[in-house]
């Protein structure tokens, strides 16, 4: 029996024999940045260790859920206790009710929620619900916003005012996405013209309020306000995809921030994931009692899932929501995230590197360019090659960012000021060398 140590390269080579591309989600393959993926052996607090024993300060946080850090004692205790009671029942549990109550209490636009197992499932069903509620077929999404890999949403924009969808994945028939209209993010003129042309055919507008799959791009307040007005005027529903931003940028999620700027603002349907599961496979969508009453078993819109409301996942999510609801939690998280972003910006200035960054709550993003992009085409114009060099410079110095220019970063409650300082110091070196 071999006693040779396991390496990331050896594991990647082995994985590629039985797993397409060697990974179970594409961005993990490091193809955007080059090099060998790190195979993680364990994580604790703000850190992860790979198969070779290298420690990293973790700013992926499982792509957002680990807002408390890895292995938080209260969450771990809740999960362990739940596991002893049973993994899955296929029947209702009290914890499902408690988690639904916690979400409804925190998000005023929601009166009822349905728990599911993934953000893709939640987004897909939100679209189905919007179509069922309006009796219409067309949907609007924005280039650069990712809402999961449901067929109708795997579309990107072409040229022109409002491009009817063309699939961006093999295996998606053109007729499946023929009712999907793709517009430019933050472009008020486009959405006004689209509603003028198709207003009585549009079931919903779906948006990431902070687009975390363009790295970090905010929907501007006038843009969100105008969408709300157009939806009301034409009888369409406004869907906020908060899989990433939900309970991550604020306790009331991103919609609470827009409500501060737009009196009375609420979306019609909200989609959640990541934080509400605390790292377990759990997501949800919610709306008013009237809209949610269209779901089976009460109404004609069908949705079901064997593992929906899984008892271990709900225990993990409930414990996470309890911790982040404590007084001062988001103030402290926001302070640390801002400190990180300010330090990275200062390091870029010292190195003479064009750099723009933004953050909200425990979510942040940065670009190698003179200003913050407002849409996908502007993101694509930033310096990808420099990002790749800085990514590897940070990785070599023990700092783990998302391995792609187009992904946001996440700070957790477990990150200390010392972790932030170490990250900024590593970034200064990586930026000078870039």
How far is the CA of 270 from the CAs of 205, 255, 288, 292, in angstroms?
12, 9, 10, 11
Query: What pTM value is reported for the model?
Result: 0.95
List active site positions.
Answer: 146, 241, 274
* 145-159, 218-232, 267-281, 392-406: least confidently modelled range: 145-159
Yes or no: say if 365 and 373 are a contact pair by the CB < 8 Å rule: no
CA gap 356, 342 in Å, rounded: 10
Domain ranges across the chain:
8-71+327-432, 73-324
256 φ, ψ to 5°?
-70, -30
Return the structure tokens found at 320.
């996470």
The whole-number average pLDDT for the span 37-41 is: 97
Yes or no: say if 203 and 139 are a contact pair by the CB < 8 Å rule: yes
Percent of the chain with pLDDT over 70: 96
Residue 161 has pLDDT above 70, yes or no: no
Residue 136 has pLDDT above 90, yes or no: yes
What per-residue confidence (pLDDT) applies to 209? 98
Long-range contacts of 85-92 (CB under 8 A, 24+ apart): 85/311, 86/311, 87/310, 87/311, 87/312, 88/306, 88/307, 88/310, 88/311, 88/312, 89/311, 90/306, 92/309
CA gap 369, 356 in Å, rounded: 6
Residue 157 has pLDDT above 80, yes or no: no
Average pLDDT, the chain: 94
Strand bridging mode 138-142 / 180-183: parallel
Yes or no: say if 133 and 237 are a contact pair by the CB < 8 Å rule: yes
Rg (CA), the chain: 21
> pLDDT (tens digit, 9 = 90+) per residue, 122-132?
999 999 999 99
What per-residue confidence (pLDDT) applies to 1? 45
Overall CATH class of domain 73-324: alpha beta
CA gap 162, 196 in Å, rounded: 11
What per-residue confidence (pLDDT) applies to 320? 98
Q: Which of 373, 394, 361 is nearest to 57 (CA)?
A: 394
> pLDDT (tens digit, 9 = 90+) per residue, 169-198?
778 777 778 899 999 999 999 999 999 999
3-state secondary structure of 233: helix
Torsion (CA) 310, 410, 103, 90 in degrees, nearest 10:
-10
Residue 292 has pLDDT above 60, yes or no: yes
> pLDDT (tens digit, 9 = 90+) per residue, 239-282?
999 999 999 999 999 999 999 999 999 999 999 999 999 999 99
| Helices 384-396 and 417-432: angle between axes, nearest 10 degrees | 130
Q: Topology of 8-71+327-432 in CATH?
A: 3.90.1150
How far is the CA of 230 from the CAs of 200, 235, 237, in angstroms?
11, 8, 10
The whole-number average pLDDT for the span 297-324 is: 97
338 φ, ψ to 5°?
-60, -40
* 173-177, 361-365, 407-411, 419-423: least confidently modelled range: 173-177
Percent of the chain with pLDDT over 90: 89
């Amino acid at each position: 029996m071999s006693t040779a140590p396991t390496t990331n390269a050896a594991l990647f080579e082995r994985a590629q024999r039985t797993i397409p591309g060697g990974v179970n989600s594409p961005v993990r393959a490091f193809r955007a940045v080059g090099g060998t993926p790190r195979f993680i052996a364990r994580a604790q607090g703000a850190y992860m260790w790979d198969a070779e024993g290298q420690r990293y300060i973790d700013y992926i946080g499982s792509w957002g859920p680990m807002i408390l850090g890895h292995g938080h004692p209260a969450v771990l205790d809740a999960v362990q206790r739940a596991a002893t009671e049973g993994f899955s029942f296929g029947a209702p549990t009290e914890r499902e009710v408690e988690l639904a109550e916690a979400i409804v209490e925190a998000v005023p636009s929601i009166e009822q929620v349905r728990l599911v197992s993934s953000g893709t499932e939640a987004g897909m069903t939100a679209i189905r619900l919007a179509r069922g509620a309006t009796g219409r077929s067309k949907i609007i999404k924005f280039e650069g916003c990712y809402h999961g890999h449901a067929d109708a949403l795997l579309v990107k924009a072409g040229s022109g005012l409002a491009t009817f969808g063309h699939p961006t994945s093999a295996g998606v028939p053109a007729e499946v996405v023929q009712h999907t209209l793709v517009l430019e993010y933050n472009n008020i003129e486009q959405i006004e013209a689209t509603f003028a042309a198709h207003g009585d055919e549009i079931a919903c507008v779906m948006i990431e309020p902070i687009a975390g799959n363009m790295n970090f791009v905010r929907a501007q307040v006038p843009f969100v306000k105008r969408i709300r007005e157009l939806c009301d005027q034409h009888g369409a529903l406004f869907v906020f995809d908060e899989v990433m931003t939900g309970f991550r940028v604020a306790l009331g999620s991103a919609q609470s921030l827009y409500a501060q700027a737009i009196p009375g603002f609420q979306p019609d349907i909200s989609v959640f994931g990541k934080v509400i599961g605390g790292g377990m496979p759990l997501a949800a969508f919610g709306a008013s009692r009237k809209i949610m009453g269209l779901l089976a078993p009460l109404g004609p819109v069908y949705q079901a899932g064997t593992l929906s409301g899984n008892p271990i996942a709900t225990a993990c999510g409930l414990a996470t929501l309890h911790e982040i609801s404590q007084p001062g939690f988001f103030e402290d998280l926001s302070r640390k995230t801002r400190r990180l972003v300010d330090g990275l910006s200062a390091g870029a200035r010292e190195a003479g590197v064009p750099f723009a960054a933004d953050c909200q709550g425990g979510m942040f993003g940065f670009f190698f360019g003179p200003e913050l992009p407002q849409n996908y085409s502007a993101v694509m114009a930033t310096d990808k090659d420099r990002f790749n060099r800085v990514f590897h410079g940070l990785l070599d110095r023990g700092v783990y960012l998302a391995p792609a220019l187009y992904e946001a970063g996440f700070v957790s409650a477990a990150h200390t000021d010392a972790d932030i300082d170490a990250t900024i110091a590593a970034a200064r070196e990586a930026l000078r060398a870039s």
